Each structure stands twice: as structure tokens, then as C-alpha cells.
Amino acid sequence: MISKRFINLLLTAAIAVPAVPVMTVSSEAQVQLHELLFGRRSPRPERVIREEPEQRRPAPRAIQRVSGPRYYTYKAEAMSAVTLASLLPAAEETGGVGLEPSLDFEAKRFAEALRLVPDTSVSMEKEIAEALKAHYAESPKFIWSRGNSVTAEAKAVAEMLENAGDHGLEVSEYAVAVPRDGWSMDDPAGRTADLLAFDIQLSARALRYAQDVKDGVVVPDKLSGYHDFKLPRLDPNDAIGILAKTADPAAWLQTLEPKQPEYAELKDALKELRAEDVDEIVIPAGTFVKVEQSTEALPQIMKALRKRASEETREKHAATFAEYLGGEEYTHNIAELVKDFQRENGLVPDGIVGKNTVSHLTDESHASKIERVELAMERLRWHPERFGYRHVLINQAAFRASYFEDDKEKLSMRAIVGKKSNQTSFFFDEVETVVYNPYWGVPQSIIVNEMLPKLYRDPGYLDRAGYEVTNASGRRVSSAAVDWWNYSGKVPYNVRQKPGPSNALGLVKILFPNEHDIYMHDTPSRNLFDRDQRALSHGCVRLQEPQAMAAALLGKTEDYVHSRIANGSGEESEKVPVKIPVFVSYYTAWPDADGNVQYYNDIYDRDVYLDRAIRSVHEARGSAES
């Protein structure tokens, strides 16, 4: 008979030989063998999970991050000094024989002017030069004079060019000197030559003005990859034809101005700002002063305190104001005055004049206001001349989205826009669809830049987090089944998050299909709307009241939108009855609903880049004139 001790030795030996897989006895087999030999079950041994050693993989290559658009160095169109002779047809081509009576006196006068053409040159853009050359070849006659006199129409156009500054434009780039009405009868040839030079110059400047006031001084898409404006610029060939034939060319030029009411409000604001006599308080950037220190900025600090402190604080510290004679020593008495000013402005009352205190003491720079208004007018010229009866305007710099009907703001709400590293693009499109209980299609930039490092460590992360993964043919695959280690850049898989309360898009999204994959949507992170600075997203626009916006665009009630969300069975979409323009814009100066211009921070430094571009145009035009 086999002893119990012998059987236990056999079992122990079998368990102790892991190098031979066929000899391995599982814990369940041990229990069964014990029952067979002894007629009763042995105590079930505690289960031990043996982890296989981790397969050693090579470290993945450095992730090739999907980068966003970039800013460019703006290159202004080169100017050239074009001689009148190179623009005009040869005299023999006109068939003229001099200034003599004729049924076509103007043609004869023009032909004579060609013989007298001076070597005078006019600086202009190549496209404008080609348009003028084509026009005068087809119609060899003066546009802006009759007989030996400048026309009233020419004077009206010249006056309009003199007022280009009303649009935030540089007057010197458009203004043209008009020949005097009086001239010497002893020099008819000189008068004819002067009128010809004036004709060419006024035509060239009027064409430049027409393009700039209609479409902008700067070509926006040359600023950065974030700018996307597909509208063609005014063709100078068409424009010169209209200027030469219309009865009132100045009136036609006026029709080219943007028609949005905001443009008129900005234009009025610019006029008022320039007329203001401002005694501006400027405290140098970086000012930082403590009690018993000295600073050259103290006279400006005291001037600002007189202006900005409350009447109560001024009365309390009247003696300090009276005793101050313009010195630079920051005394204890002045520090006590500053502490009271800090208290009434919600600042830490430490008596230290630093960045936060300076920001409350100084006005918005007057020069900065003028510049921002001018830049806002320039940006408006990139848009269609009208926004449309119904439209949505998103101002990224103001973190705000508004819905308009008949140029009246009907709905306005806080918005969240892209981080500086994930900027929201600047473009316009049309709203087409409202989606209820949406999926979130994760962009490749987020998959690669943010998800891929996690997937290296945990391939099943997407499965557990509520995402669906599909391959290039659209077939669902498990995230855990994908060998993410094979990829260090864009991956051949699509990822989307299922609808639900934690979905990044919330309960509704509003689509205006565009190549930037930007749209408006809800968000479960409602607390973020409480922040003042809301550049927080990956580029899309999150709305504080997305269901109200969806209802306005659909022409429905909010209750209707609520019901579609609550009663839906997964993602559903609804077309808006009529496509509605949406302007995803960027204005650091913009009129509010009452027409008062408000000023906003340049969160993406786009004012900086636009100002540089405009300066480069000024330099190109100016250097050609010198």
C-alpha cells in the first residue's frame, strides 16, 4: 500500500520541476489526485498567479508630434517705378496729328500728350501697372481731364483719397496733387504733359485705394496658416474700366467700403479717438518700488493716484498729496495712500507698487486703442462686405459667441477658444447641421500628441475610457489589439468617443464643415466658463449655452432641443433650414451691443503680426516713392 507520505513526496517533486512543461501539475490536478488516492478532497491550495516575464521591446522612436499652423514672415508686394512712356501706347499708334480742331478732340489731345510724355515715373504695383497699360492701349484718352481742365469727378476722387485716414489707411500712399485750375497760356505743351502725369497717377492711386478699402492692405492668408480667406481681391482691370466710364467714380469707390454696421461704428470711434486731447499717464513697464526706495516713476504714480483713487481715499490722504512736490522718494505716507488704493481695487494692500497695482493705475493706452481700432477695420475688410441678415459672430479675443438677426444681437454667451498652442483659426463659413448626443471624432493631433504616449504604456486605455477604434476600412478593432509601438507619428486608425455625459462635446455640437475641423459644441466642464481667460480648448469653440444657440439657428425653442437630446437613441443630426454665415474672427477692438467699442487682450499675438505686415507694406510703398 502506498503511504500518504510517499504520495506527498511525489506531488512535491512534480510541482518542483517547472522546466518541463508536460510535468507541471496544476493546483486543480493536485486536488483530484489527492481525492483519487485517499478518497477525500484535500484543502484547496491558495491560487498563485505566475506573471510571465515582460517581453522586452525596443523603446519607441520619439513621437513625431502633429504640429499646428505657423506664422509667416510677411512679404509685401514689391513696388516698381513705372515710367509713363512704358505704360502708354506709342504716339503713332493713336493716329493723332497734333492739337487741332477735330470731332474727336480728346483723342487728338491725348495723342499730342504722348509726344510730350515726360520721363516722370510713378510707383505702383505690377498688377496695377498692367491694368493701366491694357486700359490706355484700348482707350487712348484722358480719364480725369477735359480740354485743359481737371474734371470735377477727378477732384472728388482726389478728395476721397485725401481722407483715406478715416479708414485707418496711410494717407500718403493714396494722395495725389491736383494740377491748379490756372495755367500759363504760353505753355500749352507743359499743361498737357502735367495733365497726362496726373491722369496716370490718379488712376494708379485710385486702384490701390479701391483694393485696400475693399479687401484690405494685407493679404490675410500670407500672415499665417491660421488665416483662411478665399475671397478674390478686386481685379484692377475691372476697376479701371468702371472708374473710366461711371458718371460718379467717387460714389462708386464709396460703395467698396464694408457695409457692416460695426465698420461704421469703428470708423466713428477712430475719429473720436484722434480728436481727443489725452493727458496720458504712462508708468514704465517693470516698475516695482517699496517704501523708502526711490523711483523716477513716482511723479506718474502720484498723478495716477490723483486720477484713479476714490474721492474718500483722496480726502483721507489730502495732506500727502499736498506735501508731494515731485520727488522720487517713496515715503511711508505715500505707501499708506497706495495701500488704501489697493484695498478699494481688491488688491493685496502691501503698499508695493508692482505689476498689478500699475495695471490699475494706468489707462488703456490711447495709442493702443487707436491701433486696435485700425487693425479691427483692416480685418473687417477681409470679410464679405455684409455679414448677412442672420449670422453668428465668434470673437476669439473677447471669448464670446453671438447670434444676430437684421444686424441686431439676439443672443450672446461666453465661449472657450483654443489655447495659444492650439489656436482657433480665423475664417468664415456657413452653419449646416446641429448634432444631438454626438460622438467625438478625436483629431490625429490629439491621438498622436496626447494619447499615443499613454497607449505605449497601456494599449487597452481607449477601450476602458469609452472610445471606439476603427481601422482604415472602418472596421471596429480593440484598442488593446493594436500594436501602438509600431507608430511614432500619425496612426492608421480613427478614434471616437461614445456619446454620454463624459463626452468631450457634451450633448450638442453645431457644424459648419471646414478644413480646420472647428465647430461649436457643448462641454461637461461647465466650471471653465467662470474664468476670465478662456483660451483653453484644442481649437474648437465651446459654448456656455449651446442648446440656446442650436435653438436660434434651427428657429426652434430650447424645449425642442432638450427633447431631441433626452429622447434620442444615440447620435442624431438635424439640418438647419437655411445655411447661416458664421464668422470665426479675431478682434481686439469691437463694438458691443450698444455700439461702444470694447478692447480685449491680444491672446494670440495676432495684432503683433498684423502690425508688422502693414508696416512692411508701408515700407515697400514708401521706399518706391523716395
Task: Convert the pLDDT of each residue in 342-368 to its tens digit.
Answer: 999 888 899 999 988 988 888 667 888
Euclidean distance between CA atoms 540 and 287, whole angstroms: 38
pLDDT: which is higher, 42 or 182: 182
Same domain, 218 and 199: yes
Q: For 178-227, how does the pLDDT look when each residue is reduced to its tens digit (9 = 90+)?
A: 999 877 677 778 888 889 999 999 999 999 999 999 999 999 999 999 99
Q: How confident is the model at residue 95 (pLDDT cuts 50, 70, 90)?
A: low
Closest alpha carbon to 56 in 485, 488, 481: 485
Which pLDDT value is given to residue 624?
A: 60
Q: For 443-474, how does the pLDDT look when each residue is reduced to its tens digit (9 = 90+)?
A: 999 999 999 999 999 999 999 999 999 999 99
Same domain, 416 and 556: yes
Specify the range with the lowest mean pLDDT, choosing from 7-16, 259-268, 301-310, 548-557. 7-16
Q: Does residue 103 register a pLDDT over 60?
A: no
Average confidence (pLDDT) over 565-574: 92
599 occurs within a structural domain: no
For the chain, the average pLDDT equals: 87
Retrieve residue 447's grid coordinates. 491621438
Could you tell me if 316 and 340 are in contact, meaning their C-beta atoms sit under 8 angstroms apart? Answer: yes
Same domain, 177 and 317: no
Which pLDDT value is given to residue 58?
A: 56
Same domain, 263 and 302: no
481 occurs within a structural domain: yes
Same domain, 465 and 580: no
Euclidean distance between CA atoms 406 and 386, whole angstroms: 11
What is the chain's Cα-based Rg? 37
Q: Does residue 16 register a pLDDT over 60?
A: no
276 occurs within a structural domain: no
Retrieve residue 397's grid coordinates. 479675443
pLDDT: which is higher, 367 or 158: 158
Residue 447 per-residue DSSP state:
I
Closest alpha carbon to 5 in 24, 13, 45, 20: 13
DSSP string, 12-75: HHHHT-TTSGGG---HHHHHHHHHHHHSSPPPPPPP--PPPPPPP-PPPPPP-------B----
Which pLDDT value is given to residue 15?
A: 44
Does residue 414 sit in helix, strand or coil?
strand
CA distances 511 to 522, 544, 565, 575, 580, Å, are 12, 16, 16, 10, 11
Q: Does residue 28 register a pLDDT over 70?
A: no
The helix-helix angle for 236-245 and 188-215 (nearest 10°) equals 130
Average confidence (pLDDT) over 361-383: 91
The Cβ-side half-sphere exposure at 83, using a 13 Å CA radius, reads 7
Same domain, 422 and 518: yes
Q: Does residue 5 register a pLDDT over 60?
A: no
Euclidean distance between CA atoms 219 and 134, whole angstroms: 25
563 occurs within a structural domain: yes
Which pLDDT value is given to residue 92?
A: 56
Average confidence (pLDDT) over 377-390: 96
Which pLDDT value is given to residue 281?
A: 82
Q: Which residue bears the cell 490675410?
A: 220
Same domain, 492 and 435: no
- Output the pTM of the full model: 0.79
User: How many other CB atoms are found less than 10 A from the CB of residue 566?
Assistant: 10
Euclidean distance between CA atoms 483 and 462, whole angstroms: 13
Euclidean distance between CA atoms 439 and 570, whole angstroms: 9
Q: Does residue 8 register a pLDDT over 90?
A: no
Q: Which residue type, as a one-letter code, is found at position 89?
A: P
Q: How confident is the model at residue 47 (pLDDT cuts 50, 70, 90)?
A: very low
202 occurs within a structural domain: yes
What's phi and psi for 282, nearest 5 deg?
A: -120, 115
Which pLDDT value is given to residue 459?
A: 94
228 occurs within a structural domain: yes
CA 390 to chain centre: 22
Which pLDDT value is given to residue 402?
A: 98
The Cβ-side half-sphere exposure at 184, using a 13 Å CA radius, reads 5
399 occurs within a structural domain: yes
Q: Which residues contact 544 (CB under 8 A, 6 or more apart)?
A: 413, 414, 415, 529
Same domain, 523 and 488: no
Percent of the chain with pLDDT over 70: 87
Q: Does residue 52 register a pLDDT over 50?
A: no
Average confidence (pLDDT) over 235-257: 97
Query: Any bridge partners for residue 83, and if so which?
Result: 121
Euclidean distance between CA atoms 86 and 592, whole angstroms: 51
Euclidean distance between CA atoms 386 and 264, whole angstroms: 12
Q: How confident is the model at residue 99 (pLDDT cuts 50, 70, 90)?
A: very low
Same domain, 256 and 356: no
Specify the range with the lowest mean pLDDT, choosing from 272-281, 409-418, 464-473. 272-281
Average confidence (pLDDT) over 520-541: 95
CA-CA-CA-CA torsion sign (526, 528, 531, 533): negative
Which pLDDT value is given to residue 38?
A: 44
Which pLDDT value is given to residue 360?
A: 83
Same domain, 307 and 246: no
Same domain, 33 and 103: no
Could you tell me if 378 and 610 are in contact, meaning their C-beta atoms sit under 8 angstroms apart? Answer: yes
Q: Does residue 266 register a pLDDT over 90?
A: yes
Q: Which residue type, as a one-letter code, is found at position 446?
A: I
| Pairing verdict, β 535-537 and 408-418 | parallel
Euclidean distance between CA atoms 495 and 480, whole angstroms: 13
Q: How confident is the model at residue 270 (pLDDT cuts 50, 70, 90)?
A: very high
Where are the alpha helices (H) located in 472-605, listed in sequence order? 546-554, 558-566
**Domain span holding position 332:** 298-362
Q: Which residue bears the cell 515582460?
A: 54
Same domain, 202 and 308: no
130 occurs within a structural domain: yes
Provide the number of structural domains found in the chain: 5
Where are the alpha helices (H) located in 362-417, listed in sequence order? 366-380
Euclidean distance between CA atoms 475 and 195, whole angstroms: 75
Q: How confident is the model at residue 108 (pLDDT cuts 50, 70, 90)?
A: confident
Which pLDDT value is given to residue 97?
A: 42
Specify the range with the lowest mean pLDDT, choosing from 70-79, 276-285, 490-499. 276-285
